């Protein structure tokens, strides 16, 4: 191995069989090819950023190029800041100010010095196990972003736990359809299979024409494992099914999953090994998961933790090993903290426990079922209603493709439930009938006061629902 690459986190431990293929271009990289490309890009970094310390932003649209740039940044002893390559100029400036980046890698490995970056004495040394090596953004880049910091130690711990719980066999032929600038795509879909010695196939952000033949593509490349978000699966599962027995394991994560969609994906994939996953960027991607049979019809069931412990925190701040409350996590893959904000980092922990902000129910055997997010709670006259719980209730209706609930002002109770609905093609359902159906499904406080049909639910670049945008649009509309 090139001596300059001997201490690159994860890359230094990839088995010889690790490889990656860009399905659009057909280009394939063996491990030697990856290392050679990384060495070249590291030299480009050294030349462009001579005399400059500081992080490097990776804004590559191509997944394979983004991975090469990530490893090259690590080889140069620098922290990598993974961002959406489509950032507008003002957003780029926000990222630079927040991260202190001195370099930016964009399309095709083009390395640019950040304007105004000040030179320093010496060059960065090799990254240590507990040094910040990766920053990922979890909020928008137009205001004050939250930059999550991970070390080689936390990343290696998560990847090792992923491999242990998934098993090496499915990871030998994996597909990544997600962007690689956040944890689900980067750590779960890319770094994990490569570290297992598998072949990684990249098709980041499939277009409608590519999704139309998605099952055939899985068969042609003998894909055994893949993971994506619920919104992706709603589209992909409309394509002809793949050949039975090809896929071995499927993950679904990054957003709430209803039991109905879960079953539909399992039917399409032709396997029972379809997992609803729980994870956050702060935990370096997945932290647990469960199959449909393990869920036994429970929306939001994610099973036991993959290395570490779950706890629940009640309204008084006491922590329990069972019951309902805010979900806490103790794991070797927890982030170092939020960049530049001691107060945010401190607020994210309760002692040694990381506070997820999710509300869940923890059973005696340590299995977790998620029921919602603290910040999306709807307070109707003191009664707390979880928006995600209403989403999944509405999606059980046979005419509803997707739903998004949120709080609306109520003169008597303070807040009430509103929801946007995407009806299935050809549906003849109407709002009055849906509301009547809801009365038989949920307590009176949870029945939506306002229901509005929409063409689609807005999402961010990670595939997550933007409830604020839905709420804003719906409050300005009239019910049909």
What does the pLDDT look like over 331-350, one tens digit per residue?
999 999 999 889 989 999 99
Which of 344, 373, 402 is the C-terminal boundary of a domain? 373
Q: Is the pLDDT of residue 388 over 90?
A: no
Mean pLDDT of 187-199: 98
Could you tell me the sign of the dihedral formed by the alpha carbons of 184, 394, 405, 305, in that order? negative
Q: Is pLDDT larger for residue 115 or for residue 250? A: 250
Q: What is the dihedral of CA 248, 254, 260, 266, to 10 degrees?
A: -10
Domain count, the chain: 3
What pLDDT is stored for residue 122 in this prediction?
64
Identify whether residues 269 and 313 lie together within a single domain: yes
Identify whether residues 368 and 392 lie together within a single domain: no
**Which has the closest alpha carbon to 471: 307, 454, 461?**
454
Structure tokens at 453: 């049909």
Identify whether residues 365 and 422 lie together within a single domain: no
Which of 134-148, 211-225, 235-249, 342-356 is the least confident region? Answer: 134-148
What pLDDT is stored for residue 392 in this prediction?
86
Which of 152, 183, 218 is the C-terminal boundary of a domain? 152
Q: Is the pLDDT of residue 51 over 90?
A: no
Which of 319, 340, 373 is the C-terminal boundary of a domain? 373
Give the pLDDT confidence of 61-71 residue by residue, as tens digits.
999 999 999 99
431-439 vs 387-394: helix axis angle to the nearest 10?
110
In a domain, 55, yes or no: yes
Give the pLDDT confidence of 353-365 residue by residue, as tens digits.
999 999 999 999 9
Give the pLDDT confidence of 2-28 residue by residue, as tens digits.
656 768 999 999 999 999 999 999 999
What pLDDT is stored for residue 168 in this prediction?
97
In a domain, 422, yes or no: yes
Identify whether residues 224 and 252 lie together within a single domain: yes
Identify whether residues 37 and 131 lie together within a single domain: yes
**Which has the closest alpha carbon to 214: 235, 188, 184?**
235
Which of 187-201, 237-251, 413-427, 451-465 is the least confident region? Answer: 451-465
Q: Is the pLDDT of residue 245 over 90?
A: no
Identify whether residues 296 and 224 lie together within a single domain: yes
461 — pLDDT class (breaks 50, 70, 90): confident
In a domain, 169, yes or no: no
Identify whether residues 222 and 348 lie together within a single domain: yes
What pLDDT is stored for residue 24 in this prediction?
96
Q: What is the CATH number of the domain that holds 35?
A: 3.40.50.12780
In a domain, 64, yes or no: yes
Report pTM: 0.84
Q: What is the CATH number of the domain that holds 437?
A: 3.30.300.30
Q: Is pLDDT larger for residue 174 or for residue 114? A: 174
In a domain, 471, yes or no: yes
What is the DSSP pairing of strand 319-320 with strand 309-313?
Answer: antiparallel
Element of type H or E holding 71 = helix 63-75
Identify whether residues 345 and 431 lie together within a single domain: no
Of all residues in the chain, the percent with pLDDT exceeding 90 is: 64
Look over the chain and give the mean of its residue pLDDT values, rounded to a whole number: 90
What is the DSSP pairing of strand 285-291 with strand 110-113?
Answer: unpaired
Mean pLDDT of 121-134: 86
Identify whether residues 459 and 399 lie together within a single domain: yes
Mean pLDDT of 249-267: 88
Q: What is the DSSP letter of 117?
A: P
Identify whether residues 363 and 397 lie together within a single domain: no
Identify whether residues 411 and 264 lie together within a single domain: no
Query: What span, in angstroms and rounded, lies between the C-alpha atoms of 103 and 223?
Result: 36
In a domain, 305, yes or no: yes
Q: Is the pLDDT of residue 322 over 60?
A: yes
Angle ∠(243,246,249) on CA atoms, nearest 5: 125
- Three-class SS of residue 376? helix
Mean pLDDT of 394-421: 89
Residue-number span of the structural domain to which 304 is assigned: 206-373
What pLDDT is stored for residue 140 in this prediction?
47
Structure tokens at 299: 């929306």
What pLDDT is stored for residue 320 in this prediction?
96
141 — pLDDT class (breaks 50, 70, 90): very low
Q: Is pLDDT larger for residue 2 or for residue 276? A: 276
In a domain, 172, yes or no: no
Q: Is the pLDDT of residue 138 over 90?
A: no
Q: Is the pLDDT of residue 132 over 60?
A: yes
329 — pLDDT class (breaks 50, 70, 90): very high
In a domain, 465, yes or no: yes
Identify whether residues 28 and 121 lie together within a single domain: yes
273 — pLDDT class (breaks 50, 70, 90): very high
- Three-class SS of residue 278? strand
**Which has the closest alpha carbon to 246: 266, 265, 221?**
221
């Amino acid at each position: 191995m090139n001596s300059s690459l001997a201490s690159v986190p994860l890359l230094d431990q990839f088995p010889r069989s690790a490889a990656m293929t860009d399905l659009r271009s057909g280009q394939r990289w063996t491990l030697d090819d990856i290392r050679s490309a990384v060495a070249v890009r590291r030299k480009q970094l050294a030349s462009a950023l001579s005399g400059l310390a500081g992080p490097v932003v990776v804004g590559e649209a191509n997944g394979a190029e983004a991975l090469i740039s990530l490893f090259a940044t690590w080889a140069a002893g620098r922290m990598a800041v993974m961002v959406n390559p489509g950032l507008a100029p003002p957003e780029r400036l926000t990222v630079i100010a927040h991260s202190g980046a001195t370099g930016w890698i964009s399309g095709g490995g083009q390395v640019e010095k950040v304007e105004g970056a000040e030179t320093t004495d010496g060059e960065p040394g090799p990254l240590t196990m507990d040094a910040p090596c990766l920053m990922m953004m979890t909020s928008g880049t137009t205001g004050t972003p939250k930059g999550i910091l991970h070390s080689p130690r936390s990343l290696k711990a998560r990847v090792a736990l992923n491999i242990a719980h998934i098993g090496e066999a499915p990871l030998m032929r994996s597909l990544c359809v997600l962007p690689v600038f956040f944890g689900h795509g980067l750590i779960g879909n890319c770094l994990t299979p490569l570290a297992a010695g598998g072949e990684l196939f990249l098709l980041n952000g499939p277009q409608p024409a590519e999704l139309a033949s998605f099952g055939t593509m899985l068969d042609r490349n003998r894909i055994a494992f893949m993971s994506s978000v619920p919104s992706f699966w709603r589209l992909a599962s409309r394509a002809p099914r793949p050949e039975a027995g090809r896929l071995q394991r499927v993950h679904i994560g990054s957003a709430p999953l209803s039991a109905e969609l879960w079953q539909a994906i399992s039917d399409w994939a032709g396997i029972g090994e379809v997992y609803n996953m729980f994870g956050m960027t702060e935990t370096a991607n997945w932290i647990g998961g469960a199959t449909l049979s393990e869920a036994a019809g429970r929306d939001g069931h994610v099973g036991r933790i993959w290395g570490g412990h779950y706890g629940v925190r009640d309204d008084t701040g006491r922590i329990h090993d069972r019951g309902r409350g805010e979900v806490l996590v103790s794991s070797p893959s927890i982030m170092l903290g939020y960049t530049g904000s001691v107060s945010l980092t401190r607020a994210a922990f309760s002692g040694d426990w990381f506070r997820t902000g999710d509300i869940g129910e923890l059973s005696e055997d340590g299995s977790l079922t998620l029921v919602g997010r603290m910040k999306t709670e709807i307070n109707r006259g003191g009664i707390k209603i979880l928006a995600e719980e209403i989403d999944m209730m509405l999606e059980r209706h046979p005419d509803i493709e997707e739903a998004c609930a949120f709080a609306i002002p109520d003169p008597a109770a303070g807040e009430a439930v509103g929801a946007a609905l995407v009806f299935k093609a050809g549906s003849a359902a109407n709002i009055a009938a849906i509301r009547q159906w809801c009365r038989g499904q949920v307590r009176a406080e949870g029945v939506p006061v306002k229901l509005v049909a929409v063409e689609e639910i807005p999402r961010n670049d990670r595939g997550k629902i933007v409830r604020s945008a839905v709420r804003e649009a719906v409050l300005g509309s009239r019910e049909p």
